[in-house]
Amino acid sequence: MAFTLPDDLAPELYPLAWLAGTWRGYGILTYGETVPEQAVYQEMTFDHDGGPYLRQTTTIWTVDATRSKNLDFEMPGLQGASLLAPAQIWSTETTYWRPVGQEQPDGADAAETTEATADAENSGGPLTPVTRLELVSADPAGHVAVWEGWIQGPRAQVGTQAVGRARTAVPVEEMTRMFGLVGGDLMWTQDMAAFGQSEVTTYASGRLGRVDDLDDPAAQPGSALDPVDAAEPASDDAEPTV
């Protein structure tokens, strides 16, 4: 299904419009000895209220390994989600994305030039502008963060400029995230330095498919499992880890 520009979207958000909507899929969590590698169910929603910003809500669930099926990590996001039975909420976060200006890529932006821009340069076509971003995020585990980065075509990259935490929250020193639209799916990764570790290390990744109809049974987690095994996300939240 072709993507339709959301109604009442502020013009400043046109470079971010491909993110708008609800995405569901699967991913991996891992962080050394602190977080054992595991498959997870994920949901992201990017919405707006007509203002010049997007609101992103992200929720990650652990899965019931006894009821979920094995994943092929090359499969589309919605197909993978249909094989998972969510167990408990692992983490949730709300983030606001705000574009703060555009510029044409040049030699100074070589490190940020995407393949699409490189192809345009080689063909003599127009270059895709780089839109600068500022983000703020908060989670119920006691963290707030300010991010800066960019979006260019169907790719975005952001990193924290400051991370604050409540007195009892797990120390998080730095985080970086990358997003991309690949084969119609939203792919994303997060690296971070946390739990007393100073080196930035892979923490999370995901592959999510756009949900065109939120009531479609086929778009629900666990929809490909036997009826007795299918499961909606747990309603009682687990303590978020990060």
Instruction: Read off the tokens for 163.
Output: 């991370």
Cβ neighbours of residue 2 closer than 8 Å, sequence gap 6 or more: none
Q: At 81, which helix (H) or strand (E)?
A: helix 77-81
Using DSSP bridges, classify how beta strands 155-165 and 172-182 pair: parallel, antiparallel or unpaired.
antiparallel
What domains does the chain contain, in order, with CATH numbers?
A: 11-104+129-212 (2.40.128.20)
Q: What is the pLDDT of residue 104?
A: 85
Residue 136's nearest CA partner among 168, 167, 170, 175 is 175
- pTM for the whole structure: 0.85
pLDDT of residue 187: 98
Residue in 120, 110, 149, 155 with CA at minimum distance from that of residue 133: 149
**Antiparallel, parallel or unpaired: β 201-211 and 185-194:** antiparallel
- pLDDT reported for residue 110: 45
Residue 5 has what pLDDT?
75
Strands 143-152 and 155-165: antiparallel
Of 179, 204, 198, nearest to 35 by C-alpha is 204
- Which tokens hold the place of 145? 């963060």
Per-residue tens of pLDDT for the chain, all 242 residues: 456 777 799 999 999 999 999 999 999 999 988 899 999 999 999 999 999 999 999 999 999 999 999 999 899 999 999 999 999 999 999 999 999 999 988 654 444 444 544 544 454 556 889 999 999 999 999 999 999 999 999 999 999 999 999 999 999 999 999 999 999 999 999 999 999 888 999 999 999 999 999 999 999 999 999 876 455 565 555 444 45
